[in-house]
Amino acid sequence: MTLSDLVARFQYQETLDSNSQLKTLVLLGTIDSEPAILSFEKTHFNISLDELESNKLPIISIKEIESNDVYHWGMNLLESNINTTPSSKINLIYPATETHIRKFNKPKFHVIVETPELYQSIVKPYIESMKGDRIKWVKNILYEGAEADKVIYKNDKFILIPDMKWDGVTLDNLYCCCIVYRDDISSIRDLNINHLQYLQDISNDLKKIIPEKYPIKANDLRIFVHYQPSYYHFHIHIVNVNYSGLGESILAGKAILLQEVIDNLRFLGEKGYSQKTMTYVMNENHKLWELGMNKCV
Amino acid sequence: MTLSDLVARFQYQETLDSNSQLKTLVLLGTIDSEPAILSFEKTHFNISLDELESNKLPIISIKEIESNDVYHWGMNLLESNINTTPSSKINLIYPATETHIRKFNKPKFHVIVETPELYQSIVKPYIESMKGDRIKWVKNILYEGAEADKVIYKNDKFILIPDMKWDGVTLDNLYCCCIVYRDDISSIRDLNINHLQYLQDISNDLKKIIPEKYPIKANDLRIFVHYQPSYYHFHIHIVNVNYSGLGESILAGKAILLQEVIDNLRFLGEKGYSQKTMTYVMNENHKLWELGMNKCV
């Protein structure tokens, strides 16, 4: 059956998501009694430089709404064509499973307060269970030359690679990842006053090296760590400070600026981050949520 | 001249912005030799529940791109109509001034490191200059009953109002603002160990009151302060933790969780935040940037 045939048989049940900022719409329904998810996303403007420079905007008509001083606004109709200027992208998942449907449900984040005691009793054992084979891919990058073609820079302290969310080229959303050559730091919980100079050296290196490799200034780099991180081998995120399209990843409650970590170490004393109460945001599908963090709010 | 006439005379010069996520396009050009800014934003889907429930999707045609297992995708052409389903919103600023044009240039954020010395020499004098008349509107809300109809809750410690970015109803993007009844705290720089219980009490109040007023749980509230704040009378932001569409406002580098502030106070001692080096993100159009913060990177 073609996509057209399938869509024609779609029976609407409910709207899973509708985002007026991103112009996306996700519908749940059935096709021949089986679950189907039908998603739409409006296309971006596709006006060539040729059209622009010859002042041939593909506008069919304009309906003026209001005009006030130098401000004029209205709605318009643009030329459209299924091949070059379609209205929207369309995606169909059919038959859709329960997992597909759950994925489209909005993320369920919650704020949790992790005391040093909860860290010791729940989080630390979990972290230990997430090492070994779970981070073999990290070890492969560090010690076995995996993804060697992607390495931006390497010294005796760390290896710098483009994050998989970055194309390695577009400066606007520059996103690099710095993985350290130390196996004894699983997360910031393991940091204390003895790591202060070590972290400051890495920070200085990053602010020197990245601007040498890409046309960006040191003070245009947002350098941070995550708690909880997605894997438990200490690593640092570096993104273009003007890029904010990363969702929870760079929000207060998940991201902590490296320089703030360094400065906090001055005050946290010998025990460092292990004695701090950490307040952060966790998705309820994180394994730690069910392991007991759902109770510590 | 009508908007149509004006747009027809638009002579393209350059593209100021093109955002494929938000589907927006901003063009700079001239109309009759005077600067003009022409902006477009694709409309959101406007499919009524009636159309959905009667399975009448306004699709003219679908072009299948690929199909793989349960995944099918393509492009489509939707019915369009200048009155009910226009292609995009159109905005014209004409004649545009240099200020208009500058506003459309992308924000220029930078990371700055504010030492206690820089706070004393540059920031503190600036903060003093931003008090008095500049925050009269805050005093009016606190003491003169301004915006009284909007007040959600009030006690002897603070007043709680909906942030102006929130409609006061939609739970998804709940955004409240808590302004305290104390004139001696301009920013977190003024906080020290003596404020610990005071802040914890406010935090506890907020987590009790807001869930009583709205159907949201205490652990679904992201409670934070800004540094730099937009006005220098201590206030606290409260948003739905699942809402991330706030740009820089809730990013690490601008927002600091209130609970993190409280916990840091335990370690920062008598002098509190005044002795801390603060790393944060500043827009270069902030007055402090030119006052000297552009040098402290």
Indicate the domain borders of chain A: 3-104, 109-295
Task: Decide if domain A109-295 falls under CATH 3.30.428.10.
Answer: yes
Find out whether A137 is annotated in a ligand binding site.
Answer: yes
pLDDT digits (tens, 9 = 90+) for A89-104: 999 999 999 878 877 7
Q: Do domains B3-104 and B109-295 have the same CATH topology?
A: no
CB atoms A241 and B255 under 8 Å: no
pLDDT digits (tens, 9 = 90+) for A120-146: 999 999 999 999 888 999 999 999 998
Task: Please give the structure tokens belonging to residue A275.
Answer: 């004695």
In order of A116, A170, A214, B48, the CA distances from A243 in angstroms are 33, 11, 15, 35
Find out whether A237 is annotated in a ligand binding site.
Answer: yes
Calpha distance A281→A294 (Å, rounded): 11
pLDDT digits (tens, 9 = 90+) for B167-203: 888 788 899 999 999 999 999 999 999 999 999 999 9
CB atoms A42 and B45 under 8 Å: yes
B70–chain A Cβ distance below 8 A for any pair: yes
- What confidence score (pLDDT) does residue A147 get? 85
- CB contacts < 8 Å between A and B, how many? 288
Catalytic residue ranges of B:
235
CATH of domain B3-104: 3.30.200.40
Catalytic residue ranges of A:
235
Pair B93, B36: CB distance under 8 Å: yes
Task: Tell which of B44, B172, B208 to mutate to test the A interface (max A CBs under 10 Å).
Answer: B44
Q: Does ipTM top 0.90? A: no
Calpha distance A84→A100 (Å, rounded): 30
* Cis omega (within 30 of 0) for bond into A95: yes
Q: Is a pLDDT exceeding 70 seen at residue B278? A: yes
A286–chain B Cβ distance below 8 A for any pair: no
CB atoms B53 and A12 under 8 Å: yes
pLDDT digits (tens, 9 = 90+) for A207-257: 999 999 999 999 999 999 999 999 999 999 999 998 877 778 899 999 999
Query: What's the number of CA atoms in the CB half-sphere (13 Å) around residue A140?
Result: 8
* Cis omega (within 30 of 0) for bond into A21: no
Q: For chain B, what is the mean pLDDT?
A: 92
Task: Tell which of B17, B72, B81 to mutate to test the A interface (max A CBs under 10 Å).
Answer: B72
Out of A19, A47, A241, the one facing B281 most closely (by C-beta) is: A241
